[in-house]
Amino acid sequence: MGIDQVIKRDGRRVPFDRKRIENAIYAAARAVGNGESRQWAETLSWAVTGILEERFGREERPPHVEEIQDIVEEVLIKSGHPQIAKAYILYRQKRAEARAAEQMLLDTTKLVDDYLDQTDWRVSENSNMNYSLQGLNFYLASSIAARYWLHKIYPPEVQKAHIEGDLHIHDLGMLSSYCAGWDLQDLLIRGFGGVPAKIESRPPRHLRTALGQLVNFFYTLQGEVAGAVAVSNFDTLLAPFIRYDRLDEAGVRQAVQEFVYNINVPTRVGFQTPFTNLTMDLTPPSTLRDQPVIIGGKPQEATYGEFQPEMDLLNRAFAEIMLAGDARGRAPYHRGCRTDGHRGVACIEIFGGGRPDLSAGSVDSEAADNHRHGVRLFH
């Protein structure tokens, strides 16, 4: 029984045309300069047709176009033409990429409709992104980036697993690393700058200035990663500014409140709030305890180990601000961890748009030490 129809990639059934197989084989031979004749290509196309009839002649469904192309590769290799088979495989890949590009253009209208109607789960993939015009723009751009990740960077088996739902690769919408940690002490020493043709600031001499520069630092660097931007030793490095500024509890609370509010303004692409991670040491760590404090970019006589009262004041103010929430009582979503060992550490992730999670997790001192050296406890 002969082959009368072929199933195309879109599911349509069309008449089977052996000549198309012949043309594809001949084009692959010419691509490698093999010098094979048209008659040779015709002979192989009949061989392919014979295998199709043998495998699918008794089937209820006709062969799929991909199955036909697999058989073409098989025939080329078995007939002693591996170079032509390779050219044919590359041709298939290029055609697949061209079809994907064409499909992406066709999908543009559907992407906009999916966002406006909120029918795609990716509209709400990140809780710190609101439904908005900027959200739409980011959704469209991230759809292109996601396709690049899946079709150009990840191997086919990973692409297949993601598309079929065996696993989920988060934040495919940005061609970047996931999260990054930065050195707060370096910011205090050098000040805010380093980006050509952009504004620069000298090293901070006051607490509110240091917090303001950290906000600008987060605003600037958040666009370089898909996930969180992080700093460690937040309380250890900033506590000395409290004493040098002679701030009372109300002054510290006001400075911290400004920082928390400013860091939750939706300045990130797609109308997102920044995704930030702060690590509080709670007590001066051994790596900083005997180091001179940095004020105005210069080392002072005092060391970080002398500022435990100011660290307590800063941490208490931070906790109170987070618990109080904004003008409507809504707290930035945050989650913290606390170790009770000899090397206590609290790590807090902040991003607006959700509800507060005040439950405390528990990790051992080794995990805390790893986090202090850049190993994240979340994600």
Residue 247 has pLDDT above 90, yes or no: yes
Rounded CA separation 15/10 (Å): 15
More confident residue, 191 or 126: 191
The stretch 136-151 carries a mean pLDDT of 82
Rounded CA separation 236/311 (Å): 6
CA atoms within 13 A on the CB side of 204: 26
State the pTM of this model: 0.60
Domains of the chain by residue range: 5-86, 120-163, 180-372
Check: CB of residue 175 under 8 Å from CB of residue 145. Answer: yes
Check: CB of residue 268 under 8 Å from CB of residue 126. Answer: no
Strands laid side by side in the 180-182 sheet: 180-182, 229-231, 276-280, 346-351, 333-338, 360-361
pLDDT attached to residue 242 = 98
Q: Per-residue confidence at 328, pLDDT binned at 50, 70, 90?
A: confident
CA atoms within 13 A on the CB side of 228: 21
Distances 57 to 64, 66, 78 between C-alpha atoms, Å: 13, 17, 22
Closest by CA position to 338, among listed 275, 280, 256? 280
Q: Which amino acid is at 130?
A: N
Distances 236 to 55, 71, 214, 254 between C-alpha atoms, Å: 72, 67, 15, 19
Check: CB of residue 139 under 8 Å from CB of residue 192. Answer: no
Cβ neighbours for 39, distance < 8 A, ≥ 6 positions apart: none
User: Which two structure tokens, joined as six digits, stand for 20?
Assistant: 């198309």
**CA distance from start to end of the chain:** 57
Q: Per-residue confidence at 188, pLDDT binned at 50, 70, 90?
A: very high
pLDDT attached to residue 317 = 96
Tell me what percent of the residues of the chain surpass a pLDDT of 90. Answer: 36
User: Which two structure tokens, joined as six digits, stand for 102?
Assistant: 């064409």
Residue 353 has pLDDT above 50, yes or no: no
The stretch 272-301 carries a mean pLDDT of 93
What phi and psi values does residue 88 have, to the nearest 5 degrees? -65, -40
Rounded CA separation 226/118 (Å): 22
pLDDT attached to residue 149 = 87
Buried-state track 147-156, b at ≥16 Cβ within 10 A, e below 16 = bebbeeebee
pLDDT attached to residue 352 = 47
Rounded CA separation 226/200 (Å): 25
pLDDT attached to residue 108 = 74
Positions of E strands within the chain: 5-7, 13-15, 180-182, 229-231, 276-280, 292-295, 298-303, 333-338, 346-351, 360-361
What phi and psi values does residue 2 have, to the nearest 5 degrees? -80, 170
Rounded CA separation 284/328 (Å): 35
Tell me what percent of the residues of the chain surpass a pLDDT of 70. Answer: 81
The listed range with the strongest mean pLDDT (192-201, 231-240, 333-342) is 231-240
Cα–Cα–Cα angle for 121, 105, 70, rounded to 5 degrees: 90
Cβ neighbours for 15, distance < 8 A, ≥ 6 positions apart: 4, 5, 6
Check: CB of residue 213 under 8 Å from CB of residue 182. Answer: no
Q: Per-residue confidence at 284, pLDDT binned at 50, 70, 90?
A: very high
Average pLDDT, the chain: 81
User: Which two structure tokens, joined as six digits, stand for 221?
Assistant: 């660097």
Q: Per-residue confidence at 48, pLDDT binned at 50, 70, 90?
A: very high
- Considering only the C-alpha atoms of the chain, give the largest distance between any 2 of them, rounded to a whole number of Å: 94
Q: Per-residue confidence at 365, pLDDT binned at 50, 70, 90?
A: very low
Is the four-CA dihedral 179, 183, 184, 188 of positive or negative sign?
Answer: negative
Cβ neighbours for 223, distance < 8 A, ≥ 6 positions apart: 268, 269
The stretch 288-306 carries a mean pLDDT of 97
Sort strands 292-295 and 276-280 into parallel, antiparallel or unpaired: unpaired
